[in-house]
A and B are shown apart, each in its own frame.
Chain A
């Protein structure tokens, strides 16, 4: 079972394979944004990896990061990542201070769109 460490918050045990965006919300208790509902459209679910960044990237994540011009190293979409190992992330897109009415509707259990 992987440990997800959220800088400034703590380290949390997360079921292996769980979507990072959902783990950030459920196990880690953060207010991570996911405005589009986890379908790789909006990039508000982005986090910055401090350690444990997965090498693999879904085609949808590649496409939307490119389209939105997100090029900062280590910045990834938590809706496109499964918790398959220990990770340390920094929250860079939170509900608090966002001015939005909510964090976004609940993301599905499986990565969407299905990885190519």
Chain B
């Protein structure tokens, strides 16, 4: 889908939108259909990549993988791209493979990291010999899925059905320059996988075997076991593609460690939410929601948001909010303007009024404004839910203790805004001394008032926003109603329908204890 399809633009100003959209695309890193993608290799180091150092190096601006008689590999070994996962994409790179005709390599995608630099999954194969370049091979899986020159559909039961052939494999081999540089291009869009070498389609696979195929996974480069060989890569460029078949992509950003153990557990909370969503959608024949979590703050992956339908931030906010650093505010603003949903949790709903405030009002419809909003700890009372909103499906009014910020700054007028979760804070929360986060005359005057703690926003130009002020305490993810509300909100923000009864999930004690940040105990 082209960039413009995201805009519900009217014909009279379509040209203007085209120009703006092009500028937005450039500034955000998003790339259009004819652009070559984003470089994943800086030409000087293996930054962002990881493999066994005895086999991989950078030399003369190219990545080199090499085995020798003195330094063989016992098993296939891989250089793994560590900055992100790939789902739907176009990848182009240049490769050169030398050694005996048995020298073999390949590009793994949507693969599983099996540890010790071994991966399994789809491989765009190539070799020094004349047989395998261009085929699709499933490493540590189903083996050869589609030979060169073939179009194959793999049915749900694994049966292969041949389609119209691309051409004779020996003829296709002639498009490949043996011992020299070649361009490999992989196009993976949903279940359709295409491999091109030097512009020539070599194989095309439609993988409908739902229990075996992969829709997301790691990207890696292979060094094959066998006689001494050398493989070189350069000009590695990734262009993420908008998901098809009604699927949506949620990118989750977990902030750095903060606060005491059990508080602001950004990584653990985000990965828990992701696991619940993945478990839910794994029950679908074609999972509607693809998730990808980046931990440790702003993603190092330069393509992280390029095909996102929604972004979730669970991180410390204020001046240190990830979206306020570098040029991130403009980047996220551009994404929001093309309809990408934005959801923020707890401290991530706070930005300074002067920097980020206007953007948060346009993205989320509301935010924590210092000197206006407050951050007391209290237990919800007289809780009410906006029951007609999809996010409230399967959620009962609940009463958790949390650092429930309230008195948010909301859009005025509030068109498009739904106050999802409201409660009445105890009056003593309005009696604290004045301060940027603690109290102010307006809050003090509001004793007995109902306050909003979670809200949903539908932007007039398209796109959705969500904010929730709780989740200071990690333990609250174990609360079914809070968790269901959050999961529903993430699904809704991504533009999907929330199931009747809400997103069902279960959390064990082990789930809750997983991925906690290593923090010094509270003094």
Contact = CB atoms under 8 A, between A and B. Distances in A.
Nearest to B104: A1
B163 interface: no
Nearest to A86: B131
Interface stretch (B136-144, B381-389, B434-442): B136-144
A11 B144 CA distance: 5
B494 to A, nearest CB: 36
B517 to A, nearest CB: 37
A57 B8 CA distance: 72
Given A1-B127, A1-B129, A1-B226, A13 B104 contact: yes
A51 interface: no
B143 A13 contact: yes
A85 interface: no
A13 B102 contact: no
B112 interface: no
A79 to B, nearest CB: 19
Nearest to A26: B75
A29 to B, nearest CB: 7
B8 to A, nearest CB: 47
B184 interface: no
B225 interface: yes
A35 interface: no
B143 A15 contact: no
B132 interface: yes
Interface in A1-51: 1, 3, 9-13, 15-16, 27-29
A10 B144 CA distance: 7
Interface residues of A, number: 12
Q: Which 7 A-B pairs have the closest CB atoms?
A: A10-B143, A12-B143, A11-B144, A10-B142, A15-B226, A11-B143, A15-B225
Contacts of B138: 10
Given A1-B127, A13-B125, 13 more contacts: A1-B129, A1-B131, A1-B224, A1-B226, A9-B142, A11-B143, A12-B143, A12-B144, A13-B137, A15-B224, A15-B225, A15-B226, A27-B143
A13 B140 contact: no
B226 A28 contact: no
A99 B301 CA distance: 50
Interface of chain B, main secondary structure? loop
Contacts of A27: 143
Nearest to B120: A29
A69 B392 CA distance: 72
Interface in A48-91: none
A28 to B, nearest CB: 7
Contact of A16 (B125, B137, B143, B226): B226
Contacts of B142: 9-10
Nearest to B158: A10
B227 to A, nearest CB: 8
26 contacts: A1-B102, A1-B127, A1-B131, A1-B132, A1-B224, A1-B226, A3-B144, A9-B142, A9-B143, A10-B138, A10-B143, A11-B143, A12-B144, A13-B125, A13-B132, A13-B137, A13-B143, A13-B144, A15-B102, A15-B224, A15-B225, A15-B226, A16-B102, A28-B143, A29-B140, A29-B141
A11 to B, nearest CB: 4
A9 B140 CA distance: 12
A33 B225 CA distance: 24
A9 B158 CA distance: 9
Contacts of A10: 138, 142-144
Nearest to B103: A1
Contacts of A12: 143-144
A29 B212 CA distance: 14
Nearest to A6: B143
A55 B102 CA distance: 22
A18 B226 CA distance: 9
Contacts of A15: 102, 224-226
